[in-house]
Amino acid sequence: MKFGDYDAPLYKRELMQNTDYQRFDDMIRLVLDCSPHNILVLKEVLRELERRGLIHFGMHMAKNALMTCVVFDLKDSRHIHFLDADEGGFTLAARQLKTKRSSTPTR
């Protein structure tokens, strides 16, 4: 569907290209859509890596994701999108991570 400068198929392609994916502070922040089984497997892998002292991680699970869209100029494809889980998302995962790191002795 097109409406003025809005072209839905084009916007959908650009949405994927313009979604924030940058790393900051040497951390990876992800929003994943996983089955309950895959969540259990992922947690096991992350816990094992954490047990070995290779990583620290925080995780928050939610049933929904939120997308914030900032559109500067739709005609020139100037828009960016930020994804997060609902009910606290990255904030709750970061809180969990900080709690773990503060209680873990440094090597």
Domain locations along the chain: 2-103
Cα 71 to Cα 48, 67, 79: the distances in Å are: 41, 13, 4
Work out the burial of residue 81: count CB atoms within 10 Å of its CB; fewer than 13 is exposed, 13-18 middle, 19 or more buried: middle
The mean pLDDT value of the chain amounts to 83
Higher pLDDT, 106 or 79: 79
Q: Quick check: 51 and 41 in contact, CB under 8 A?
A: no
What are the beta bridge partners of residue 84?
Answer: 66
Q: What is the pLDDT of residue 3?
A: 64
**Phi then psi dihedrals of residue 71, to 5 deg:** -110, 115
% of the chain at pLDDT higher than 90: 32
Rounded to two decimals, the pTM is 0.67
- Band (20; pLDDT cuts 50, 70, 90): low
Q: pLDDT tens across 32-79, in order? A: 889 999 999 999 999 999 999 999 999 999 999 888 888 888 778 788
Q: What is the pLDDT of residue 75?
A: 77
